[in-house]
């Protein structure tokens, strides 16, 4: 077995470290960007929604302490992941507006804070949401979700859609 003398090993490692240290920082827009990944059926009949995201200023997610406007429980942005329900009715997709005051619970979720690592605030990651209920009773058999994500600066992401889903 050939041993490399210590000074030569250091000389070989230094250029690699310098090269890694010179890599450009990842840059993303300040507005979150999302991409649909999957909407998989689970064994208990629920569905798991998976989306990936990027955010340039690193302010995705809400903490338990985010309870004053615009994040208070009665505010529009209390939940920062909106999955708007749509049904295929005849020849077009129709958004179904759900009214919490009438006992209808929108498909909105509160994504926790994602902390950037290092000095670059840019984030990328995956969001997984367990949807115990995921469809409404109606005479129509096809649905989809229009998904958007809001960051703490209230920047809204692009909208993505699930594929068409048949109700059970």
What span, in angstroms and rounded, lies between the C-alpha atoms of 21 and 19? 5
Count: domains in the chain: 1
1-26 pLDDT, tens per residue? 555 554 544 545 555 554 455 556 77
Q: Tell whether 15 is covered by a domain.
A: no
**Could you tell me if residue 6 is inside a domain?**
no
Tell me which long-range contacts 130-134 makes (C-beta under 8 A, separation of at least 24).
130/42, 130/46, 130/47, 130/48, 131/46, 131/47, 131/48, 131/49, 131/83, 131/107, 132/46, 133/46, 134/46, 134/47, 134/107
Is 61:80 a contact under the CB 8 Å cutoff? Answer: yes
Q: What is the pTM for the complete model shown?
A: 0.83
With pLDDT > 70 as the criterion, what percentage of the chain qualifies?
86
Domain containing 80 equals 26-166
Predicted confidence (pLDDT) per residue in 136-155, tens digit: 999 999 999 999 999 999 99
Whether residue 3 lies inside any domain: the answer is no
Which pLDDT belongs to residue 125? 94
């Amino acid at each position: 077995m050939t041993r490399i003398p210590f000074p030569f090993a250091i000389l070989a490692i230094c250029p690699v470290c310098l090269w890694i240290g010179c890599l450009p920082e990842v840059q993303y827009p300040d507005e979150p960007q999302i991409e649909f990944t999957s909407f998989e059926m689970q064994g208990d009949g629920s569905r798991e929604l998976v989306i990936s995201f990027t955010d340039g200023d690193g302010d995705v997610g809400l903490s338990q302490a985010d309870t004053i406007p615009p994040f208070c429980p009665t505010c529009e942005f209390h939940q920062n992941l909106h999955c708007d329900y749509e049904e295929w009715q005849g020849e077009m997709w129709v958004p179904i507006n759900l009214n919490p005051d009438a006992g209808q619970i929108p498909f909105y979720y509160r994504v926790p804070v994602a902390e950037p690592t290092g000095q670059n605030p840019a984030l990328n990651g995956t969001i997984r949401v367990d949807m115990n209920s995921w469809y409404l009773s109606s005479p129509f058999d096809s649905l989809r979700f229009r998904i958007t994500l809001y960051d703490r600066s209230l920047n809204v992401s692009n909208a993505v859609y699930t594929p068409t889903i048949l109700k059970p």
